[in-house]
Chain A
Amino acid sequence: MSLNDEKKTPENEKDGRVVFRRKGFQFLGMGLQDYIRVFFGGNASLAIIVLILICLFLLREAAMFFPDHHQGLKSYRQGGQELVGYVSDEVDAHTKVYSSANIAYFAEVGRTSIHEDKQLRAYRTVLANVEQSTKYTWARLERYLDEAEDLNDDVEDLREDIEEASADAEADAEDLKKDQAELAEIEARLKQLEPLIAKEREQLEKEVQTALGTSRVWDLDIAARGLSDEELSMVREAVVFEAYPDAEDEHESIQNLKQVSRDKKAAEAERLADFKETLNGIRDSIRPMKSLYGEMKDISVANRREIDAFSTAPARRAALLAGVEQTDDPAEKERMQKQADEVVIVEPDYDAINEPLYALVPQHGELAGPLQDEMNKLFRQLPQEVETKSARENMKRAAVYYERFDNTVTNNRDRILDWRHDAPLSLWTSTTSFMFGKHWITNSSWHDFYGLLPLFTGSLLISIIALTVSVPFAVAAAIYVNQIARFKEQSFVKPAIEFIGAIPSVVLGFFGILVFGEALRNISQLEWLQWVPGFPMAERLTILNAGLLLAFMAVPTIFTLTEDALNNVPAAFSENSLALGATKLQTVFRVIVPTAVSGIIAAILLGFGRIIGETMVVLLVAGNKIKIPDFTEGLGVVAQPAHTMTGIIAQELGEVDSGSLHWRALFMVGMVLFVISLLVNWAAQRTLKRLQKI
């Protein structure tokens, strides 16, 4: 039976047989069902196509990073900057030793005068607060007082003139009269000023008293807290005394305090004279090396300029020639043509430009050995026993830095001798110096470094904090809500936790800056919490702050997924366990949680993915300092600011030239993030599959 025959018969039956023919909407051989299928399938495939396009775009832009980066590294070597970099490392390492020891010294010097300094600080804080709230009246009063003073001077002058004039008979009567008139005028003005000044003074006094009555004014700097009532009333008196513009000197008690503080410091300084002398020795020991470094640096900077000029010359010339094509103005055209012709493309003679650097290498060798010996001697002379906590910490740090300095110099000796500007640079270097580079320095007049390590450690530290805090909370909350809570609690707690996920991260970041960071810092200053590593914190925007906020953000993700995993555990397990005489808690922790454990791990992994990909909060709260955190402080490292992989992209991508090396480096950072997320998701999927097998 052919198709045509079917169409002619509207009935479904033909010759007594049922014909299973399609009915309803038909177009181009496809029915309504087919079109619906195509529509939904098309949407799904569109998403996949977009994903593939994004991947391709990312890949292309990121892959171009390596040749460009390689070129940059090559210039760095050819210009001799690499060599100078070694010397610079030595100088930097030395500076760190000196500054740590120096901080320790000043902490020691101020040891005995802590109490006086505390009072002085309180005085300054309160005074500043009072001045802030009385500044308008203060300014008015000051203006009147200045005017009055000027006028009084004038009056005195005039009086003298008049006296002289009256004594001298020859004087011009006219002048005398004029002076007298002027005097009268000024005195009138002075009379006028008197009530004004009195009024302002009264007003100022009122304001000062009001200000001193508010607690905000007494919100002392943390270092100035813990004064007795007596001392506070002394501060109050001194502030009242100082609050007027015509106060000549500071209050007596403040002057005394200052004197005592100075004396005590001087006494301490005398006691620590050896310390100071050693410090000065350390400071001076680097001088010859530093001047050698300066000399070398100038040479290599000039070299680099020459190399860069050469490598950008063709592009510059092309741009000028293109300009010639585009302008209509003949004069302009000629000027540009001339400029284009002037661009010379001559490769610098690398041997020649590095010659002066090689000449300086022996000099470095002569300096390095004695420097090491001297530092060794001086470092041993530093006092081993120090009194204050800050000094102890800084001395400990100085010891670590000294070790590093010594190693740097030792390691550099051969490296500097063997260094060649034309040593081959393998392609692999551009990858390793990106992945393991310790510096991310851009727009620098020296050399741009694109090292992932500072960003990666920042991201990692923040994620670790966020996970260690959020996982116990979220998992415990999920177990509680799913297994233990009553229905009423459940229906309250669950939406409440899930609501956290609805808070925009930028709002959370705002909260982190304004409220949480400040609160955290205040807590870190508490006396009885000083045993916590990293406390007291100097900064508001720190790894810890960002980590805790991210923990808060990750809680709903981990909570919801963990709760799902627990929900997926068959109810029969719980029933079986209870029937064996297990308590509810035994059932939860011996049967239900172990059964759901792969789901919980997947939840944690997805939470990690959420944390490491989060941008806004870390950009606002992490402090954005592009530097590998200083791990010499142990766990206290979390009190430092850091930058993250996500944050750097958000911050810098908008400001760089598209296609530049910097631009591509940011794409590479994005690629690394992408790969991390991919791995995390893949691992999560795998563990989830294991759960489903049960």
Chain B
Amino acid sequence: MKTYMSDQEDQMTLEPQGEDAPVQDQSAVDALETVIEVDHVNFAYIPGTDVLKDISMNINKGEVTAFIGPSGCGKSTLLRCLNRMNDLIPKAGLTQGEIRILGTDIYHPEVDVIELRKHVGMVFQKYNPFPKSIYENVAYGLRIQGVNRKSVLDEAVESSLKLAGLWDEVKDRLDSSGLGLSGGQQQRLCIARTIAVQPKIILMDEPCSALDPISTTIIEELITQLKQEFTIVIVTHNMQQATRVSDRTAYFYLGELIEMDVTTKIFTNPSQQKTEEYISGRFG
């Protein structure tokens, strides 16, 4: 039996990868294969005041994991720890514990954060295409890796846009500005941009909160499709959305992980009192 630790392709490599790095395509994934291990993590923006307290969880390959909880509970913070976006904030950092992605401790001093982010993509709350053409937006991630062959780029742009369900809408105007699209389209463009670099994990930080209901539905459908190829972690305020898209749900409260389980169980039969209070709308 093949375990992920023995599979070289799954190993996190610290060297930059070539343009033809193998695409991770294992449709028949073992649902219980762990790709992210969060191990007793404490995190502080200002040293001395931990906003994440002793978080431990495993996130499985090929699943959609939702983080829910009231504002300020630390769910976005944890998400941003997973691709070290919190490094941009001076003095912020883990104060305890380890986060392992694909078996590698990502806060190890030898880890190249640039390389990490190529494997762990992120989609933000506010869709934000660059002021470039649609084509250049999607190709950006590859261009910064030094890919400049037209044929490679064309192929990557087309497949990414197809995967993001945007290809049919924009294929005739790839050279027009990405800012000319509607909000939902722009968010899907951002998703296409993220998947163009072929990450293994996609982090989504409230990807639908700035969108109208119809666009939200489209994105949600997209997420369900994307989990065939990517492991997805999504932060959401919308509990219905969590039930619709996710396989597992983690409930956070005041920096602590209260409960994490299969989504249906969380929303029908939570084991914690606090979780039940939250999902039934008694607070939050």
Contact = CB atoms under 8 A, between A and B. Distances in A.
Interface of A: 487, 570, 572-573, 575-583, 586, 590-591, 594-595, 694
A580 B140 contact: yes
Given A570-B128, A591-B130, A694-B179, A579 B122 contact: yes
Interface of B: 83, 85, 88, 90, 114-115, 117-118, 121-122, 124, 126, 128, 130-132, 140-141, 143-145, 179, 190, 193-194, 197
Contacts of A583: 114, 144
Contact of B117 (A572, A581, A590): A581
A570 B128 CA distance: 9
A575 B124 contact: yes
A572 B124 contact: yes
Contact of B190 (A576, A578, A590, A595): A576
Q: Which of A575, A577, A578, A581 has the most CB of B within 10 A?
A: A581
Contact of A577 (B121, B140, B179): B140
23 contacts: A572-B128, A575-B85, A575-B88, A575-B128, A576-B190, A576-B193, A577-B140, A578-B85, A579-B83, A579-B85, A579-B117, A579-B121, A579-B194, A580-B118, A580-B121, A581-B115, A581-B118, A582-B114, A582-B141, A583-B114, A586-B144, A590-B143, A595-B130
Contacts of A586: 144
B83 A590 contact: no
A580 B114 CA distance: 8
In the complex, the 4 A-B pairs of residues with the closest C-beta atoms, listed nearest first? A581-B118, A579-B122, A581-B117, A580-B141
A581 B126 contact: no
Q: Which of A575, A580, A586 has the most CB of B within 10 A?
A: A580
A531 to B, nearest CB: 37
Contacts of B140: 577, 580, 582, 590-591
Contacts of A572: 124, 126, 128
Nearest to A572: B128
Nearest to A487: B90
A578 B132 CA distance: 16
Contacts of A590: 140, 143-144
B128 A582 contact: no
Nearest to B130: A591
A649 B121 CA distance: 62
A581 B190 contact: no
Contact of A581 (B90, B124, B130, B141): B141
A575 B193 CA distance: 14
A694 B179 CA distance: 8
A575 B130 CA distance: 11
B197 A581 contact: yes
A579 B179 CA distance: 19
A244 B132 CA distance: 82
B225 to A, nearest CB: 21
A586 B197 CA distance: 15
A103 B115 CA distance: 68
Contacts of A579: 83, 85, 117, 121-122, 124, 194
A694 B190 CA distance: 17
Contacts of A573: 128, 130
Contacts of B190: 576
A591 B83 CA distance: 20
A570 B131 CA distance: 11
A594 B122 CA distance: 22
A690 B251 CA distance: 45
A229 B144 CA distance: 61
B206 to A, nearest CB: 13
Nearest to A569: B131
Contacts of A591: 130, 140
Nearest to A694: B131
Contacts of B121: 579-580
B124 A580 contact: no
Q: Which of B88, B118, B128 has the most CB of A within 10 A?
A: B128
Contacts of B197: 580-581
A580 B193 contact: yes
A594 B178 CA distance: 15
A580 B118 CA distance: 6
A486 B112 CA distance: 21
A577 B145 CA distance: 12
A583 B130 CA distance: 16
A586 B145 CA distance: 10
Contacts of B122: 579
A590 to B, nearest CB: 7
B85 to A, nearest CB: 6
A463 B132 CA distance: 33
Given A572-B126, A591-B130, A580 B117 contact: yes
A613 to B, nearest CB: 32
A107 B59 CA distance: 86
B128 A576 contact: yes
A301 B156 CA distance: 82
A595 B131 contact: yes
A415 B10 CA distance: 88
Contact of B144 (A581, A594, A595, A694): A581
A124 B3 CA distance: 93
A455 to B, nearest CB: 41
Given A572-B126, A576-B124, A583-B114, A594 B83 contact: no
A487 B89 CA distance: 12
Contacts of A581: 114-115, 117-118, 141, 144-145, 197
A556 B122 CA distance: 38
A576 B130 contact: yes
A581 B122 CA distance: 10
Nearest to A570: B128
Q: Which of A577, A578, A595 has the most CB of B within 10 A?
A: A578
A573 B115 CA distance: 19
Given A576-B193, A590-B140, 9 more contacts: A573-B130, A577-B130, A578-B117, A580-B118, A580-B140, A580-B194, A581-B115, A583-B144, A594-B132
A544 B122 CA distance: 52
Nearest to B83: A579
B197 to A, nearest CB: 6
A395 B32 CA distance: 88
B138 to A, nearest CB: 11
Contacts of B90: 487
Contacts of A582: 114, 140-141, 144
Nearest to A486: B90
A582 B143 CA distance: 10
A572 B122 CA distance: 12
Nearest to B179: A694
A578 B141 contact: no
Contacts of B132: 594
B234 to A, nearest CB: 15
A687 B38 CA distance: 49
Contacts of B88: 575, 578
A594 B124 contact: no
Q: Which of A572, A582, A595 has the most CB of B within 10 A?
A: A582
A583 B117 CA distance: 10
A49 B174 CA distance: 50
A573 B83 CA distance: 17
Contacts of B141: 580-582
Contacts of A487: 90
A694 B129 CA distance: 11
Contacts of B117: 578-581
B131 A594 contact: yes
B34 to A, nearest CB: 23
Contacts of B193: 576, 580
B125 to A, nearest CB: 9
Contacts of A694: 131, 179
A576 B194 CA distance: 9
Q: Which of A487, A573, A579, A595 has the most CB of B within 10 A?
A: A579
